[in-house]
A and B are shown apart, each in its own frame.
Chain A
């Protein structure tokens, strides 16, 4: 078949008819076809959320001898919420979590960015060394927690190493000293998750437009100027995404504080996840824990909204910086160009 014949064949081919769905409209059919997926999502997300909200209004526990559907026997409206809001231990756990988050994410960002900048340049064995740096991220958190539990023992390798360096016996109570234990848990998090920050930022740096950076270099801009006025603004959305991802993850931190000290000594490393775990698993106060978890969810949701706003803002700013002005025409032109490039 020649090309022309083939073209004619295609033109002459009858238009394929959609199957007949028993006279139902396409809209109905499409809704029916996506319904199983949506029902599954409903079950996965909405059902547990509804149960949590329901038992959050009760003082039900599994030891109440009623099952969860009978939780309404223990209905107490907002008492659980009120108790959580007045609970010193709840706010203490929230404070520790925020503190953990600020320090861990801050240090992970600085280290991850520094490493990403170091790895931006080609050097022999870069792939292998990159892989090596990514290894901690692949360790199961329970395993890393246990490894550091051993390392932080008073007679463990960390103190032994310090003793070898300092030339005298070192007995730092990394896990028993309430003023040190959070730092120990944060160290585990930094060790494990700096590689993720490094990976995200490295991929952002690699994706930066080389021509602009080269032009700046040719025009005599030093590294600091290129970093401050080109790389950083262009990376801003990536940085924010990396920070938000890590912040969300760190807010849920459980493994390190729990495996190192079970949230102790006392409640010195009880993050909000450990606190909730205790309320659910040890205290079996499922109703109360649900109420507290919903409070946490509301707080985090608000924080999330405020955290996402700078990303949108950063995108706007990047766009403006790229077009070098803010006239509507130029803006439209750049957006069209980006859209065209995306289509290609």
Chain B
């Protein structure tokens, strides 16, 4: 992408970088004219002269009347700071809206777009936020394009089955598909997801832009949107797994002294899995008046594999991958067996019944003060707060977030976190072809840096931020808390992919079953990894080794690049 196409390069900072204070300043005539003039120049530079027609002196007045800041052509209005989420014509949202208007004018866009959405994602599209906002995101979209959004609900437990059925019946009754990134290979190979690269080239979303794009840059974009070298998704989430811990315990002088006496090293947030084991063992006190468990990562079926993955992917520089380039499994080795052994050992530091507990129980364990640390979801510290009595029993305020521990590889600290689920949207290839472009443009618009920041600032849903600019937004910071937001900026660039190949659920299930057998003492870690290797190789062979190997090689690009080490210091 040329520099001229980068978001905001053709516009002065005051148009985009509207901080909370700046947004409260009143408009002046001088600023208005300057902004409008720069916006006009931006339109010309952006190579969208046809779209620029829409920006006339008359429309400037209209924009002002509508509550839009100078140079902005759309976005939310009616509340303090709304300008932060408004967009000029030469922005990813602007290009999407102008593209949609052009499509509508040419009769190439539908009156209604049918959006498949997760039940808990829907409110962020449909609820107005914050107080004073005149329209919801769906309302803004309808107002600006004349296209209605109709949502059809699904949920994480049934979304995969539903969409596999949709693929097998070539169901085109909805325009936008939702899914997890683990499903990408299956949906893409089944023909359910339409490749989006032509639209990406045409409308130039800002995903790679250092200021507006996805945190972590190209590798995160690959991870969040691509499979086998093609773009299939627009990301609407951030399910990278942070490591949460009880800061009061780590800062307690008595605990510090006791730990140092025992291990001869200071008590601090563990940056390696070896240190994590020491800290977890030290704090595990099941017989205390308030029982403490040192490592409360999820270990239940389905939920548990991510904790093996965390220990596995950081075993090489820059990353350890699950498969070799020839498609064969790469787990029956030191890295895989060590990760399995550590996963098994961590069961001894877990709360009773950990093998049948999901994330809700984990949040409750943290909130009740029984959990010392563990990998979890980004919204843990958003939900375990005093206002939420279902989770918090007074200990939520002590929770802090950091990157998962890692390993020292050739003298470098490699810390990696794995993504788990991640709500994504793609275009249903079976929907009428005349809807495809409009469907994509909706995604580019709602998934654009400004609009998506606005969406995640709404605490009503579970779609989490991943654009660089979102982490500076006061509403987003207010929703998540300053400390976890700071941590996420370190976590996302270090995110490693889960398995996103065709057959990912099969690979994951084989891994899950063998790990569960190991955790319940039915087999050793070495035997578990040998079984995983055997089963994965069978799956790969069945699905076509050459085809899988090609996708495996393509997925290397989604790993954090070499040189992305650390962080060496705890984030707090």
Contacts and interface: CB of A to CB of B under 8 A. Distances in A.
30 contacts: A62-B164, A62-B165, A62-B167, A62-B190, A63-B167, A63-B186, A63-B503, A65-B189, A67-B169, A155-B352, A173-B353, A173-B355, A176-B355, A176-B356, A176-B519, A262-B302, A264-B301, A264-B513, A265-B517, A265-B519, A266-B513, A266-B516, A266-B517, A267-B513, A267-B517, A281-B161, A282-B505, A283-B503, A283-B506, A286-B168
Interface in B118-170: 160-161, 164-165, 167-170
A153 B352 CA distance: 9
Nearest to A266: B517
A155 B350 CA distance: 13
B519 A64 contact: no
Interface residues of B, number: 33
A262 B301 contact: yes
B164 A63 contact: yes
B485 to A, nearest CB: 34
Contacts of A268: 520, 522
Given A267-B513, A284-B186, A149 B169 contact: no
A177 interface: yes
Interface of A: 59, 62-65, 67-68, 149, 153-156, 171, 173, 175-178, 261-262, 264-268, 278, 281-284, 286
B482 to A, nearest CB: 35
Given A63-B186, A283-B506, A175 B355 contact: yes
Contacts of A63: 164, 167, 186-187, 189-190, 502-503
Given A176-B520, A266-B520, A266-B522, A154 B352 contact: yes
Interface of B: 160-161, 164-165, 167-170, 186-187, 189-191, 301-302, 352-353, 355-357, 502-503, 505-506, 509, 513-514, 516-517, 519-520, 522, 542
Contacts of B168: 62, 67-68, 286
Contact of A265 (B164, B352, B516): B516
B511 to A, nearest CB: 12
Contacts of A278: 509
A198 B353 CA distance: 35
Given A67-B169, A281-B161, A155 B509 contact: no
Contact of B514 (A59, A153, A173, A266): A266
A251 to B, nearest CB: 23
A176 B353 contact: yes
A3 B301 CA distance: 81
A278 B506 CA distance: 9
Nearest 4 Cβ contacts at the A-B interface: A154-B353, A266-B517, A62-B168, A176-B355
Contact of B356 (A65, A68, A261): A261
Contacts of B513: 264, 266-267
B542 A59 contact: yes
Contacts of B353: 153-156, 173, 175-176
A171 B356 CA distance: 14
A171 B357 CA distance: 15
Nearest to B512: A264
B186 A175 contact: no
Given A176-B353, A262-B302, 5 more contacts: A59-B542, A149-B356, A171-B352, A264-B513, A267-B517
Nearest to A60: B168
B520 A178 contact: yes
A177 B352 CA distance: 12
Contacts of A176: 353, 355-356, 519-520
B520 A67 contact: no
Q: Which of B302, B356, B357, B520 has the most CB of A within 10 A?
A: B356
Contacts of A149: 356
A286 B169 CA distance: 14
B276 to A, nearest CB: 23
A225 B187 CA distance: 67
Contact of A153 (B191, B356, B520): B356
B190 A265 contact: no
A234 to B, nearest CB: 47
A173 B517 CA distance: 14
A183 B471 CA distance: 50
Contacts of A68: 168
Contacts of B514: 266
A63 B551 CA distance: 15
Contacts of B165: 62
Contacts of A286: 168
Nearest to B170: A67
A332 B542 CA distance: 64
A49 to B, nearest CB: 18
A33 to B, nearest CB: 33
A262 B520 CA distance: 15
Given A266-B516, A267-B513, A64 B190 contact: yes
B505 A65 contact: no
A62 B168 CA distance: 5
A159 B168 CA distance: 46
A205 B410 CA distance: 79
B505 A284 contact: yes
A254 B526 CA distance: 31
B161 to A, nearest CB: 5
Contacts of A283: 503, 505-506, 509
Nearest to A277: B161
A261 B301 contact: yes
* Residue from B160, B187, B301, B357 whose CB has the most chain A CB atoms within 10 Å: B301
A44 to B, nearest CB: 18
Contacts of A67: 168-170
A284 B542 CA distance: 12
A177 to B, nearest CB: 7
A262 B503 CA distance: 19
A284 B505 CA distance: 9
A175 B509 contact: no
Contacts of B169: 67
A264 B516 contact: yes
